[in-house]
Amino acid sequence: MRVILPILLSCLVVLSAHSAVVAQPPDEPDAVSGEAVLVTEMEDVSGPDEAVDSTVEERMALMAHVDGLIAAHQREHGLGAITLSVVRDDGLWLARGWGLADIESEREVVPEETLFRIGSVSKTFTWTAVMMLAERGQLDLDADVNDYLPDFRVREAFGEPVTLRQIMHHRAGFEDTLRLFAVADDEPRALAELLAEHQPERVHPPGQRTSYSNWASALAAQVVENVARVSYGEFLQTEILDPLGMQDTTALAPAAMDEDLRARLATGYRPEQGALVGQDFMQIGPYWPAGGMASTATDMARWMRFHLNGGELDGVRLLEADGHGRMWTRAFDDRPEAADVAHGFQDRPYRGLQTFGHAGGTAAYLTNMVLVPELSLGVFLSQNSTHTASPIRQVPDLVIDHVAGFEYRPWLIDRDETGAEALAELAGTYFNNRRVFSTFTAVLGAFNTASVTPLSGESLAVNMAGETQYMRHLQGDVFVGAGGDHIAFVRDDDGRVVALADAMGVHSYERVGWFDNPLTLLTAFAAVVLLTLTHAAGFSRRVGRNVYSGFAARVAGSAALVAVLAVFVFAVALVYLAMGLGEFDVSRMAEEYPPAAMFIVHYAGWAVAVAAGVMVLAHWPAWSGSGWGLFKRLHFGLFTLALVFLSVQLWQWRVIGAPVI
């Protein structure tokens, strides 16, 4: 994504320039200086002096490398605070904090004390809990999930049940929903009640498409609670956190924390006029298993060691090695050389290595955890702002590059228009399947698309989220970028390209035709606006010229005037909605969602549809008795067709004809 210049500092500078260098065993609570860390490790490492010296040098080099990476990101992006831990060979190699956890009080980041909310990395605890119960024989991952839901049912669809294994791979086929982000932390209702009320529609057959689902992830936590016969929070604490010694990890929302615990939480920030301003915390209430936990860098180092050890930490085993191995095995094999999901963990190939992990984000934090079993390496990184994802996306990969000895080399782009015909079947627009399908909010995700353009017989330009990446053919339908990202195209049973799987493994993009393309909606609206303006201009010129004399002319002219006013109101409503969304704070969703502008656009859309109907009815008088010239009648007809098509598009995108929430 972005070019980073690592700043390699001397060991003395690295150990003294930032707060809280930690590399002692996690059960030693007192922070020690960098020099003491190196001495301690030298004493603990057995073997020849050369091996000891080599280990120390590797750690010193890693400290310098990471420090340079973070310093570059801090300066480039104006970051508030970052916490990071690196584990390798079942040891804590590095835990550091950069910046200030709270700027006003100048509280520094202390990796074994400062709490960062880890967002969807919380799901890795849910998936581990599910696997623990499956290993005990209390859960069948391939059974109908309704077998474990006594209080409500997942609705029938496609003639197939939903299973936990499909949920863990984000292939249950649910649409996305924003409603869980509008639940306050003090919500009195239980998770089961909210899951039933907020149940999203099933829009894909189970197993067919990858589509990330927070709702389904919370459903898995409810299953754990139902089967274990204790609250999910209690299971998490007593069965996972306590045995693993993760005493600094909490599921409490910030508002529910006591004064001492709350004082350890890093303050969230967002940029404003070249500086930072406080950012409120996101609320999700009982949905917290999907993304509400908070932890420290050193506690997350223990979590990484547990998984890298195959389900065991410091003599405590929660999963048998075979059971943990099954967790990191994919249940679907439609893209083995590209990114996918393995029982809840993002399974992402990177430069010939297999990595597992998860990323997460809330209103004030971004987090990433990446594990590389082949290198016995784990990297955890969290930041207290969300205005850039560059650190959490790039730093783990650059740590892997450093440890594995990979050297980044830029690619020279290859263009061959003639040869590009060989990849023509891949070209087109792909629409993210992680979206709302059934309510007004479907239109809010209308432009979450990817576009694919062949450049040669072996290369593509892929644009996702506004960024274009050059990718080369790797094998089959898999392409790789210079930064190591893999994408894959998915074919149906007839061999046609129907979807695109992204580099993170948790999203797929459906190939769309012209009618379903978001650009068609935009084009229809632009055409209506243009015709509205020209019709309004013509109307103003004809006022007082008896153009609208006669009953038929007055009827047709009145219909056109109604249409002009309806389009004007709809356009103003869209501007109002866009302005509101531009200033919308996700942390305020519990109080402010849905915004009034969504209802205004919804009803204004109906006004456009009604106006289109009026124009259709006015066609007879316009053509038979208005006395208008051919050009004006053609313009009237074109305006009518454009309004009708826009109305169809508004229905297609759920602006009208569907609930607002």
Q: For 369-413, what is each residue's pLDDT tens digit?
A: 999 999 999 999 999 999 999 999 999 999 999 999 998 888 999
Summarised one tens digit per residue, pLDDT across range 463-482 is: 998 889 999 999 999 999 99
To which H or E segment does residue 468 belong? strand 467-475
What number is the average pLDDT over the span 42-60?
A: 61
Q: Is residue 329, in this structure, part of any structural domain at all? A: yes
pLDDT of 96 higher than 70:
yes
Q: Please report, as a single letter, which amino acid is at residue 177.
A: T
What number is the average pLDDT over the span 620-640?
A: 89
pLDDT of 530 higher than 70:
yes
> How far lies 406's CA from each of 69, 70, 203, in Å?
16, 19, 42
CATH of the domain at 334: 3.40.710.10
Q: What is the pLDDT of residue 627?
A: 81
**Separation between Cα atoms, residue 338 and residue 481, nearest integer Å:** 12
DSSP E strands in 262-321: the ranges are 269-272, 275-278, 294-295, 312-313, 316-317
Q: What is the pLDDT of residue 15?
A: 26
> How far lies 132's CA from each of 139, 141, 289, 342, in Å?
9, 11, 16, 15
Q: What is the pLDDT of residue 590?
A: 86
Question: Which of 628-659 are b and which e, b meaning 16 or more Cβ less than 10 Å from the residue's Cβ?
Answer: beeebbebbeebbbbbbbbbebbebbbbbebe
To which H or E segment does residue 479 belong? strand 478-481
User: Residues near 94 by Cβ (< 8 Å), separated by ≥ 6?
Assistant: 21, 22, 23, 59, 62, 63, 66, 84, 85, 86
Q: For the sheet with 91-102, list strands across it.
A: 107-108, 91-102, 81-88, 377-383, 366-372, 353-361, 345-350, 340-342
123-135 helix and 214-228 helix, angle to the nearest 10 degrees = 40
Residue 22 is given by DSSP the state B
Strand, helix or coil for residue 196: helix
Q: Is residue 587, in this structure, part of any structural domain at all? A: yes
Confidence of residue 51 (pLDDT cuts 50, 70, 90): low
User: Are the C-beta atoms of 643 and 612 separated by less than 8 Å?
Assistant: yes
Q: Which range has the worst mean pLDDT, 13-22, 273-282, 584-593?
A: 13-22
CATH of the domain at 465: 2.40.128
Q: What is the pLDDT of residue 45?
A: 38
User: Are the C-beta atoms of 123 and 146 separated by less than 8 Å?
Assistant: no
Q: What is the pLDDT of residue 542?
A: 63
Higher pLDDT among residues 236 and 547, named by residue: 236
Q: What is the pLDDT of residue 661?
A: 85
Nearest to 568 by CA among 596, 518, 595, 528: 528
pLDDT above 70 as % of the chain? 90
Considering the domain architecture, whether residues 150 and 280 belong to the same structural domain is answered as: yes
**Separation between Cα atoms, residue 274 and residue 295, nearest integer Å:** 29
What number is the average pLDDT over the span 163-176?
A: 97
pLDDT of 7 higher than 60:
no
Summarised one tens digit per residue, pLDDT across range 492-526 is: 999 999 999 999 999 999 999 999 999 999 999 99
* Residue 349: cis peptide before it, omega within 30 degrees of 0: no
User: Are the C-beta atoms of 222 and 198 separated by less than 8 Å?
Assistant: no
Considering the domain architecture, whether residues 223 and 274 belong to the same structural domain is answered as: yes
Confidence of residue 39 (pLDDT cuts 50, 70, 90): very low
Higher pLDDT among residues 20 and 196, named by residue: 196
| Structure-token match 């995700």, residue found | 445
Considering the domain architecture, whether residues 147 and 225 belong to the same structural domain is answered as: yes
Considering the domain architecture, whether residues 492 and 612 belong to the same structural domain is answered as: no
Antiparallel, parallel or unpaired: β 497-501 and 508-512: antiparallel
**Separation between Cα atoms, residue 325 and residue 343, nearest integer Å:** 10
Considering the domain architecture, whether residues 216 and 255 belong to the same structural domain is answered as: yes
- Point out the domain boundary residue: 476, 492, 512: 512
User: Residues near 151 by Cβ (< 8 Å), separated by ≥ 6?
Assistant: 192, 193, 196
How many domains does the chain fold into? 3
How many H helices and E strands in the chain?
18, 22
Strand, helix or coil for residue 577: helix
Summarised one tens digit per residue, pLDDT across range 112-161 is: 999 999 999 999 999 999 999 999 999 999 999 999 999 999 999 999 99
User: Residues near 442 by Cβ (< 8 Å), separated by ≥ 6?
Assistant: 435, 436, 653, 654, 658
Phi, psi dihedrals of residue 563, rounded to the nearest 5°: -65, -40
Q: Which two tokens stand for residue 302?
A: 């223990």
**Separation between Cα atoms, residue 641 and residue 579, nearest integer Å:** 29
| Structure-token match 């932390």, residue found | 185
Considering the domain architecture, whether residues 388 and 488 belong to the same structural domain is answered as: no
> How many angstroms from the chain centroid is the CA of residue 420?
32
Q: What is the pLDDT of residue 587?
A: 85
Confidence of residue 541 (pLDDT cuts 50, 70, 90): low
Summarised one tens digit per residue, pLDDT across range 351-362 is: 999 999 999 999
Considering the domain architecture, whether residues 339 and 488 belong to the same structural domain is answered as: no
Q: Is residue 10, in this structure, part of any structural domain at all? A: no
What number is the average pLDDT over the span 621-631?
A: 86
Q: Which two tokens stand for residue 588?
A: 């305020």
User: Are the C-beta atoms of 334 and 169 separated by less than 8 Å?
Assistant: no
Q: What is the pLDDT of residue 13?
A: 26
Apex 243 CA angle, 242 and 248, nearest 5: 35
Q: Is residue 9, in this structure, part of any structural domain at all? A: no
pLDDT of 453 higher than 50:
yes
What number is the average pLDDT over the span 301-311?
A: 98
Q: Is residue 503, in this structure, part of any structural domain at all? A: yes
What number is the average pLDDT over the span 39-47?
A: 34
Confidence of residue 36 (pLDDT cuts 50, 70, 90): very low
User: Are the C-beta atoms of 116 and 382 separated by less than 8 Å?
Assistant: yes
To which H or E segment does residue 353 belong? strand 353-361
- Point out the domain boundary residue: 512, 546, 572: 512
**Separation between Cα atoms, residue 403 and residue 74, nearest integer Å:** 22
Rg (CA), the chain: 28
Antiparallel, parallel or unpaired: β 459-464 and 467-475: antiparallel
Phi, psi dihedrals of residue 619, rounded to the nearest 5°: -65, -40
Strand, helix or coil for residue 487: strand
Strand, helix or coil for residue 590: helix
Alpha helix stretches (DSSP H) within 78-97: none
**Separation between Cα atoms, residue 197 and residue 426, nearest integer Å:** 40
Q: Which two tokens stand for residue 90?
A: 């079942």
Considering the domain architecture, whether residues 163 and 233 belong to the same structural domain is answered as: yes
pLDDT above 90 as % of the chain? 80
User: Are the C-beta atoms of 318 and 132 separated by less than 8 Å?
Assistant: yes
Average of per-residue pLDDT values in the chain: 89
Considering the domain architecture, whether residues 224 and 242 belong to the same structural domain is answered as: yes
Nearest to 598 by CA among 651, 518, 659: 659
> How far lies 97's CA from each of 19, 63, 74, 80, 298, in Å?
6, 12, 12, 11, 11
User: Are the C-beta atoms of 428 and 462 separated by less than 8 Å?
Assistant: no
Q: Which range has the worst mean pLDDT, 19-28, 198-207, 215-224?
A: 19-28
Number of neighbouring beta carbons within 10 Å of residue 4: 18
Q: Which two tokens stand for residue 394?
A: 């790039």
**Separation between Cα atoms, residue 465 and residue 601, nearest integer Å:** 25
Confidence of residue 540 (pLDDT cuts 50, 70, 90): low
Domain containing 434 equals 419-512
Q: Is residue 470, in this structure, part of any structural domain at all? A: yes
Considering the domain architecture, whether residues 283 and 221 belong to the same structural domain is answered as: yes
Considering the domain architecture, whether residues 132 and 182 belong to the same structural domain is answered as: yes
Alpha helix stretches (DSSP H) within 509-550: 518-542
Confidence of residue 12 (pLDDT cuts 50, 70, 90): very low
Q: Is residue 111, in this structure, part of any structural domain at all? A: no
User: Are the C-beta atoms of 95 and 59 separated by less than 8 Å?
Assistant: no
User: Are the C-beta atoms of 566 and 615 separated by less than 8 Å?
Assistant: no
Phi, psi dihedrals of residue 270, rounded to the nearest 5°: -140, 155
**Separation between Cα atoms, residue 179 and residue 201, nearest integer Å:** 13
- Point out the domain boundary residue: 512, 533, 564: 512
Q: What is the pLDDT of residue 16?
A: 29
User: Residues near 370 by Cβ (< 8 Å), separated by ≥ 6?
Assistant: 355, 356, 357, 378, 379, 396, 397, 400
Q: Is residue 252, in this structure, part of any structural domain at all? A: yes
Considering the domain architecture, whether residues 375 and 249 belong to the same structural domain is answered as: yes
